[in-house]
């Protein structure tokens, strides 16, 4: 379900009402098995509205990981083999639907005259997210971190839970499954918190991200005619756009989860205030970072090995991160760039746990380190946004040579809305990072709180863009 759509505005209240009405009509205060069944049916129904047959892919991943986890539990000698079979079978749809054409295209290019056929199938929405979530569960069972789930309906809901299936957060089974199996009650405090996150996420998406997206698309979709200055400005705008887009979705997903009585993992923690690339990945897409750290980096040996092997583990982990984001050389290079930067930080001893981390000068230079980190992340986002390495080469060339003159300027109204949204978001982030006592949404004064709510609602209605494309991370 697209949270910034009119469909969500009328459909979610029905889901919310039906969810709590089940227990009310039964004379119970707690949500039972019937509520889980309703959530499962709703999750599949919402998923099927895009491309109905893709639900079979979701069901396949669910069945494979569920059954293989049970087999791992009862097996005495073949646990590792079963886990590998389950992982390969569970990840196969992701490889086929998302990467097959990329592989075939590159093979054809290498052959020069290759004519291997590609597939003209839609990529199931959220396949990268629910595949990783399901594989993580299987590995956790194999590593005996959690017991295998025997209730198939509960496990199916864990994989398909509608607020997070399209773009995360990627939940661990140890976090979400106990909540699914628990008897939940309506919690007014949680519901109010969920509404706040839903509201702020809507602002980030519709007012900031989509407004900035109008400018970014105008520049990058016509990069041949743009100056180096325009491409540079667009890169900074995209840096803020992708944050507003993805953090906005995550907050809305967490907010909807809270309204239904679930605590989903936080996915962002003001990433552009990170003072190193290592710290950036502890603040950006936290659930993916946690997944990659647990199931790739640590499985490869983590930092419990030689320095050279540790750097290799980092590079492989970020290669997986790049490939996970998309079947394009730009994503692969983006991931490798982040991996190289992390390795460089460790080699130079300037990462958060490096040999220089406790020096007074290192701490005094934190504003400089934040700026440098932001600029490096911004450069990497240019690769992330552009459709090919050839286009990226042209755009970087324009920026480095400052080709052309003048800046592409949007209409006065669009420019005004962009500046207003950026000012509000940056100011709020600064307050939360450096002045945590100043909290507009959580102020003790009722007047200040409600003024903040009404201001955000008014800006969403006045400045929000509701006819733009889907969330950026939905296509991943």
The reported pLDDT for the residue numbered 321 is: 96
Convert the pLDDT of each residue in 352-385 to its tens digit: 888 888 888 888 999 999 999 999 999 999 999 9
Residue 223 DSSP class: G
3-state secondary structure of 346: helix
In a domain, 36, yes or no: yes
Alpha-carbon Rg for the chain in angstroms:
23
Provide the pLDDT confidence category of residue 467 given band limits of 50, 70 and 90: low
Distances (CA, A) of 230 to 211, 380, 385: 16, 17, 15
Highest mean pLDDT among 5-19, 25-39, 134-148, 180-194: 134-148
Convert the pLDDT of each residue in 267-320 to its tens digit: 999 999 999 999 999 999 999 999 999 999 999 998 888 899 999 999 999 999
Residue 329 has pLDDT above 90, yes or no: yes
* Model pTM score: 0.92
Range with lowest mean pLDDT among 23-32, 51-60, 421-430: 23-32
The reported pLDDT for the residue numbered 98 is: 92
Tell me: do 172 and 240 sit in the same domain.
no
Range with lowest mean pLDDT among 1-15, 216-230, 264-278, 322-336: 1-15
In a domain, 327, yes or no: no
Give the pLDDT mean for 332-355. 92
In a domain, 145, yes or no: yes
The reported pLDDT for the residue numbered 363 is: 86
The reported pLDDT for the residue numbered 451 is: 79
Q: Which of 153, 185, 217 is the last residue of a domain?
A: 185
d(CA 129, CA 329): 20
Give the pLDDT mean for 339-347. 95
The domain containing residue 22 runs over which residues?
6-185
Residue 414 has pLDDT above 60, yes or no: yes
Q: What percent of the chain has pLDDT over 90?
A: 59
The reported pLDDT for the residue numbered 473 is: 59
Tell me: do 271 and 375 sit in the same domain.
yes
Provide the pLDDT confidence category of residue 457 given band limits of 50, 70 and 90: confident
Tell me: do 160 and 20 sit in the same domain.
yes
**CA 85 to chain CA centroid, nearest Å:** 27
Residue 116 has pLDDT above 60, yes or no: yes
Return mean pLDDT, the chain.
89
Say which residue, 102 or 59, is predicted with more confidence. Answer: 59
Say which residue, 291 or 462, is predicted with more confidence. Answer: 291
Residue 203 DSSP class: I
Tell me: do 253 and 149 sit in the same domain.
no
The reported pLDDT for the residue numbered 1 is: 65
For the record, the structure tokens of 444 come out as 């003790």
Tell me: do 399 and 270 sit in the same domain.
yes
In a domain, 471, yes or no: no
Contact by Cβ (8 Å): 69, 86: yes
Tell me: do 174 and 59 sit in the same domain.
yes
d(CA 28, CA 88): 43
Task: Please identify every residue annotated as catalytic.
Answer: 325
The reported pLDDT for the residue numbered 332 is: 96
Contact by Cβ (8 Å): 370, 273: yes
The reported pLDDT for the residue numbered 32 is: 72
Say which residue, 23 or 80, is predicted with more confidence. Answer: 80
Tell me: do 215 and 148 sit in the same domain.
no
Q: Which of 185, 210, 241 is the last residue of a domain?
A: 185
The reported pLDDT for the residue numbered 114 is: 67
Tell me: do 30 and 134 sit in the same domain.
yes
Tell me: do 155 and 228 sit in the same domain.
no
Contact by Cβ (8 Å): 227, 407: yes
The reported pLDDT for the residue numbered 472 is: 63
Tell me: do 201 and 141 sit in the same domain.
no
d(CA 456, CA 436): 20
For the record, the structure tokens of 174 come out as 């140890």
Convert the pLDDT of each residue in 77-113 to its tens digit: 889 999 999 999 999 999 999 998 888 888 888 887 6
The reported pLDDT for the residue numbered 415 is: 81
In a domain, 396, yes or no: yes
Convert the pLDDT of each residue in 216-274 to its tens digit: 999 999 888 888 889 999 999 999 999 999 999 999 999 999 999 999 999 999 999 99
The reported pLDDT for the residue numbered 104 is: 87
Of the candidates 431, 434, 433, which has an alpha carbon nearest to the alpha carbon of residue 423?
Answer: 431
In a domain, 249, yes or no: yes
Identify the H or E element spanning 280: helix 277-283
Q: Which of 185, 219, 247 is the last residue of a domain?
A: 185
Strand partners, 30: 185
In a domain, 306, yes or no: no
In a domain, 285, yes or no: no
The reported pLDDT for the residue numbered 475 is: 62
Tell me: do 174 and 250 sit in the same domain.
no
d(CA 378, CA 89): 37
Q: How many domains in the chain?
A: 2
Tell me: do 179 and 203 sit in the same domain.
no
């Amino acid at each position: 379900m697209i949270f910034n759509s009119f469909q969500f505005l009328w459909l979610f209240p029905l889901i919310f009402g039906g969810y709590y009405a089940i227990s009310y009509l039964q004379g119970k205060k707690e949500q039972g098995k019937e509520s889980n069944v309703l959530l499962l049916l709703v999750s599949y129904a919402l998923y099927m509205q895009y491309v109905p047959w893709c639900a079979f892919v979701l069901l396949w991943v669910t069945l494979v990981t569920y059954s293989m986890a049970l087999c791992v539990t009862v097996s005495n000698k073949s646990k590792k083999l079963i886990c590998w079979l389950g992982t390969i079978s569970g990840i196969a749809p992701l490889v086929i639907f998302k990467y097959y054409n990329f592989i075939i295209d590159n093979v054809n290019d290498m052959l020069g005259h290759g004519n291997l056929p590609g597939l003209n199938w839609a990529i199931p929405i959220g396949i990268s997210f629910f595949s990783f979530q399901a594989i993580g569960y299987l590995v956790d069972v194999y590593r005996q971190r959690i017991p295998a789930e025997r209730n198939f309906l509960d496990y199916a809901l864990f994989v398909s839970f509608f607020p997070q299936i399209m773009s995360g957060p990627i939940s661990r089974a140890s976090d979400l499954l106990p909540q699914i199996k628990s008897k939940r009650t309506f919690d007014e405090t949680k519901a109010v918190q969920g509404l706040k996150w839903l509201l702020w996420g809507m602002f980030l998406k519709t007012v900031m991200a989509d407004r900035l997206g109008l400018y970014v698309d105008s520049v990058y979709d016509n990069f041949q005619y743009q100056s180096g200055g325009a491409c540079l400005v667009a890169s900074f705008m995209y840096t803020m756009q992708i944050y507003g887009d993805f953090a906005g979705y995550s907050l809305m997903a967490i907010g909807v989860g809270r309204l239904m009585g679930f605590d989903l993992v936080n996915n962002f923690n003001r990433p552009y205030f990170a003072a190193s690339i290592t710290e950036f990945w502890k603040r950006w897409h936290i659930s993916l970072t946690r997944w990659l750290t647990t199931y790739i980096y640590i499985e490869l040996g983590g930092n419990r090995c030689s320095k050279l092997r540790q750097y290799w583990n980092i590079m492989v982990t970020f290669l997986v991160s790049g490939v996970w984001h998309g079947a394009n050389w730009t994503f692969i290079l983006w991931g490798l760039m982040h991996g190289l930067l992390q390795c460089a930080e460790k080699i130079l001893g300037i990462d958060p746990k490096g040999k220089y981390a406790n020096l007074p000068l290192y701490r005094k230079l934190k504003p400089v380190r934040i700026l440098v980190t932001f600029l490096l992340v911004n450069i990497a986002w240019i690769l992330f946004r552009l459709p090919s390495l050839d286009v990226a080469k042209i755009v970087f060339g324009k920026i480095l040579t400052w080709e052309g003159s003048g800046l592409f300027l949007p209409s006065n109204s669009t420019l005004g809305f962009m500046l207003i949204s950026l000012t509000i978001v940056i100011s709020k982030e600064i307050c939360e990072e450096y002045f945590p006592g100043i909290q507009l949404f959580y102020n003790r004064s009722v007047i200040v709180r409600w003024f903040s709510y009404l201001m955000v609602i008014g800006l969403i209605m006045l400045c929000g863009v509701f006819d733009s494309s889907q969330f950026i991370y939905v296509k991943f």
